[in-house]
Amino acid sequence: MRIWSTLSSQSAQAPATDLGAGTFLHSQSLKCGTNWVFAITFASFHLGALAAFFLFRWPAFVAFLVVWVLAENVGIAMGYHRLLTHRGYSTPKWLEYCIATCGTLALQGGPIYWVAVHRMHHRYTDKEGDPHSPRDGKWWSHMGWILNGSLRNETKALKQYSPDLARDRYYAWLSKYHWVPLTVVGLALFAIGGWPWLLWGAVLPVTVGCHVTWMVNSVTHLWGSRRFSTRDDSRNNVWVALLTGGEGWHNNHHANPVSARHGVAWYEIDVNYYGILLLKKLGLASHVKTAKQIPAAQARALPESLDAVGEI
């Protein structure tokens, strides 16, 4: 049985937070010097990713696929995004912790930081205060906001956007030592298969995965189709959807942020949602919130306030 509720994209946010009207994060500095730690680290990862293609081994490629699925699909999309940020479904706490730990393998920061930034994005989408809107520049929305933005210095203030995670001792620990799981995996891969396994199984997934995730911030607010008339520039982009396992159906997502399903048409492949459905079939996921599937022509005519979200 499905129980439908009416949620607009403005009200359909994850756990309520007491942000206050005067938060200084609303006016993030667009020019805050260069984050040299990030710049040097990521440049090194790019060099390692290029070197990987000169050390191709089939077993190393398999390692790449395994880490990619765990980090990008399970960790970032199903975990950081649809579970922790929007609470589109629920899992036992031990499984939630495991999924979140997989998210650290993408090296995109700890869960408290990642979730806080994304909730900021939904609160101020394509307005002043959005951490990575293309309205501030295409390069800025892709990675300039990390390379030159001020959010990296506002760890304490960011916690007001993710108080539910900040209160959790495991997430506090994981956010502080988010680099540890990837380091352990990298050392294990190197011990098993040397440089090919390390480069293909750790360096390449992180490098490509970061760009793919950032494409959701940049590309899907610039190019693609719009099914819903949301109050932002979000787009559905098939190429980003294919690369991310469904995160590219971004206009659908901004119309129904709490929905665990981003692909609302039969032809919109959403691998990450299929993973959530698998967990539900296994009895490991519950309260799965889904946007109601409706024909595209009908969806275009719907006002934003009628975008329905329910549970399965």
* pLDDT, mean of residues 48-67: 98
| Domain locations in the chain as residue ranges | 32-228
Report whether pLDDT(6) > 50.
no
CA distances from 254 to 118, 232, 234 (A): 12, 8, 7
pLDDT the model gives residue 150: 78
Percent of the chain's residues with pLDDT above 90: 77
> pLDDT tier at 30 (50, 70, 90 boundaries)?
low
Could you please report the per-residue DSSP string of 272-283? Answer: HHHHHHHHHHTT
Mean pLDDT of 258-286: 97
Contact criterion met (CB below 8 Å) for 75 and 104: yes
pLDDT higher than 80, residue 4: no
| Type of residue found at 42 | F
**pTM, rounded to two decimals:** 0.87
| Distance between CA atoms of residues 99 and 258, nearest Å | 18
Does residue 6 contact residue 305 with C-beta atoms inside 8 Å? yes
